[in-house]
């Protein structure tokens, strides 16, 4: 099938590459001419394990093309995916101006039946708005489908090639058939495709992300309570997760959730609830608890240093909002840095993948180290903010030699408590014994 993808951000690029990998001819459109040129030359604009290989393979196979001109490719495609940004407006609601402006353009260019697919996370009712916008410009037949994306950053290739399910929101039989054909390689291998109406599909995405945000936040509260009563959250997590109604995943406590999705989607669902006069109380509490959780270790650090962080040298391992990504949007590391700097601390950080993005935001307000051990030179304590694999089994002796004091605050529960035994380190993690 011939497919156009409008927008080559995270979702658009991964969706386009995946659809090419499934054997379709895919035209990716973006208004950023420089980015389009770079992609044509084979440069992947995002960091994502395994993506580059798949991207280059499909360019070489002449299944993946890039252009700035939607006019050039629209006529060639039966299906048009919209993967455009929906940033939060000032009040937290999703800004649909990019989506609707492209819908307008499509309406003006439409010459024959096409399926327009909303791939971005968009509020309930957006498919209707896209339909109205296109219909105001043309009398040609078309369908609008909601087909939300569930991939995780850092696992984009894995998740997009092997999704837990495909959700297709459309009541048009013609559109359902076309979508079923696109995803046939998945259904052939047993991946379910679930058809529903557009609104239910749009809400499924928000409900799934918000539920996971609540799940993590609930576990963070349990972890904080474990500390009060002397329980161990690792044990509680295993005990709870073994019930397959609960499951083991997304039960890992830490310094809060971040990234470009959970915070934005929780906010947007609260906001769209309010517009209907509906209060998502559980989500409001989740936001509040998560906000406090992100900086929970700052007060522990302050307590350790008896309220005085002036001139204290803090080493930080990890800046990305989670491992395997260079993304720092809503990263807990940034909240910690801001607060620690305000309190007079000096920070040296190490994150070889996300450093450049942090430099663009913070410049030289903090120092950057080239490897995990040189970060520790003369440090009063170490704060771990991202769970990169390279931190999992460090040389504690070497760490002790480098650091001024043997003190670790671990926001990601990287180490088993046994690893620290006999090392002489003070070790504070989340929900476990100090």
Ligand-binding site membership of 86 (annotated)? yes
Ligand-binding site membership of 431 (annotated)? no
Cβ burial, residue 319 (10 Å; 0-12/13-18/19+): buried
Ligand-binding site membership of 215 (annotated)? no
Ligand-binding site membership of 35 (annotated)? yes
Give min distance, CB of 330 to ligand UGA, in A: 8
Can you tell me which residue has the tokens 């993005």? 357
CB 309 within 8 A of CB 301: yes
Binding mask 175-214 for ligand UGA (x = CB under 6 A): ----------------------------------x--x--
Q: Which one of 183, 321, 350, 388 is in contact with ligand UGA (CB under 6 A)? A: 321
3-state secondary structure of 408: strand
Give min distance, CB of 341 to ligand UGA, in A: 21
CB 46 within 8 A of CB 15: no
Rounded to whole angstroms, how far apart are CA atoms 366 and 363?
7
- In sequence order, what DSSP letters do the residues of 214-229 get, joined into one string? HHHHHHHHHHHHHHHH
Q: Cα separations (Å) of 300 from 231, 264, 331, 408, 423?
A: 18, 28, 19, 11, 21
132 CA to centre of own chain: 30
For the chain, the helix, strand and coil percentages under 3-state DSSP, each to the nearest 5:
45, 15, 40
252 near ligand UGA, rule: CB under 6 A:
yes
Rounded to whole angstroms, how far apart are CA atoms 241 and 247?
4
- What is the rounded radius of gyration, in angstroms, for the C-alpha atoms of the chain? 24
Q: Which of 185, 183, 147, 187 is nearest to 168 (CA)?
A: 147
Size of the site for ligand UGA (CB under 6 A): 20
Rounded to whole angstroms, how far apart are CA atoms 381 and 360?
25
Q: Which one of 214, 251, 298, 319 is in contact with ligand UGA (CB under 6 A)? A: 251
> Which residues, listed in sequence order, are joined to residue 28 by a DSSP beta bridge?
5, 66
Cβ burial, residue 278 (10 Å; 0-12/13-18/19+): exposed
Give min distance, CB of 40 to ligand UGA, in A: 26
Angle separating helix axes 126-135 and 198-229, nearest 10 degrees: 150
Give the residue with the Cβ less far from ligand UGA, 121 or 126.
121
Q: Which one of 259, 394, 411, 431 is in contact with ligand UGA (CB under 6 A)? A: 259
Give min distance, CB of 305 to ligand UGA, in A: 26
Give min distance, CB of 21 to ligand UGA, in A: 18
> Which residues, listed in sequence order, are joined to residue 346 by a DSSP beta bridge?
313
Binding mask 271-310 for ligand UGA (x = CB under 6 A): ----------------------------------------
Q: Which one of 63, 322, 428, 432 is in contact with ligand UGA (CB under 6 A)? A: 322
CB 224 within 8 A of CB 294: no
Q: Which stretch binds ligand UGA (CB under 6 A): 66-74, 188-196, 257-265, 268-276?
A: 257-265
Q: Which one of 59, 94, 151, 179 is in contact with ligand UGA (CB under 6 A)? A: 151
Tokens of residue 394, six digits: 């460090």
Give the residue with the Cβ less far from ligand UGA, 7 or 259.
259
Q: Which stretch binds ligand UGA (CB under 6 A): 143-151, 310-318, 401-409, 416-424?
A: 143-151
Candidates 28, 226, 261, 381; catalytic one = 261
Give min distance, CB of 218 to ligand UGA, in A: 11
3-state secondary structure of 291: helix
CB atoms within 10 A of CB 13: 26
Give min distance, CB of 299 to ligand UGA, in A: 19
Binding mask 108-127 for ligand UGA (x = CB under 6 A): -------------x------
The verdict on whether 261 is a catalytic residue reads yes
Q: Which one of 26, 261, 266, 334 is in contact with ligand UGA (CB under 6 A)? A: 261
Give the annotated binding-site residues for NAD(+): 30, 35, 86, 121, 153, 264, 329
Binding-site residues for substrate sit at 150-153, 205, 250-254, 258, 322
Residues tagged active-site: 261
Q: Which residues are annotated as a binding site?
A: 30, 35, 86, 121, 150-153, 205, 250-254, 258, 264, 322, 329
Q: Which positions lie near ligand UGA, rule CB under 6 A?
A: 121, 149-153, 209, 212, 216, 250-252, 254, 257-259, 261-262, 321-322
């Amino acid at each position: 099938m011939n497919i156009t993808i409008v927008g080559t951000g995270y979702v658009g690029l991964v969706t386009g590459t995946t659809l090419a990998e499934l054997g379709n001819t895919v035209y990716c459109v973006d208004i950023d001419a420089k980015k389009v040129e770079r992609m044509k030359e084979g440069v992947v604009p995002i960091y994502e394990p395994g993506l580059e290989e798949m991207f280059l393979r499909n360019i070489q196979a002449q299944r993946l093309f890039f252009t700035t001109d939607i006019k050039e490719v629209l006529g060639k495609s039966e299906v048009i995916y919209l993967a455009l940004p929906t940033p939060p407006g000032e009040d937290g609601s999703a800004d649909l101006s990019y989506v609707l402006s492209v819908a307008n353009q499509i309406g003006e260019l439409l010459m024959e039946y096409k399926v327009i697919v909303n791939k971005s996370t968009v509020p309930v009712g957006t498919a209707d708005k896209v339909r109205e916008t296109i219909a105001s410009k043309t009398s040609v037949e078309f369908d609008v489908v909601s087909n939300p994306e569930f991939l995780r950053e850092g696992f984009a290739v894995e998740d997009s090639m092997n999704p837990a399910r495909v959700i297709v929101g459309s009541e048009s039989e013609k559109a359902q058939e076309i979508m079923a054909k696109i995803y046939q390689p998945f259904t052939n291998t047993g991946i379910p495709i679930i058809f529903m109406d557009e609104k239910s599909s749009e809400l499924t995405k928000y409900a799934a992300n918000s539920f996971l945000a609540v799940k993590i936040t609930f576990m963070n509260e349990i972890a904080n309570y474990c500390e009060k009563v002397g329980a161990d959250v690792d044990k509680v997590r295993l005990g709870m997760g073994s019930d397959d109604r609960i499951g083991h995943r997304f039960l890992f406590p830490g310094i809060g959730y971040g990234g470009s999705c959970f915070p934005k989607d929780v906010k947007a669902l609260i906001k769209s609830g309010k517009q209907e006069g509906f209060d998502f109380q559980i989500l409001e509490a989740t936001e509040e608890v998560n906000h406090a959780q992100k900086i929970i270790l700052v007060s522990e650090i302050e307590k350790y240093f008896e309220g005085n962080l002036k001139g204290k040298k803090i080493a930080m391992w990890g800046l990305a909002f989670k491992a395997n990504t260079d993304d720092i949007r809503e990263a807990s590391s940034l909240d910690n840095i801001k607060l620690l700097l305000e309190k007079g601390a000096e920070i040296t950080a190490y994150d070889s993948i996300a450093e450049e993005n942090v430099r663009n935001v913070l410049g030289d307000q903090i120092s950057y180290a080239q490897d995990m051990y040189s970060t520790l030179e003369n440090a009063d304590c170490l704060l771990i903010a991202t769970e990169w694999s390279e931190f999992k089994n460090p040389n504690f002796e070497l760490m002790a030699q480098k650091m001024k004091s043997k003190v670790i605050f671990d926001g990601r529960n990287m180490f088993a408590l046994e690893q620290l035994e006999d090392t002489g380190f003070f070790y504070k993690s989340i929900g476990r014994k100090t």
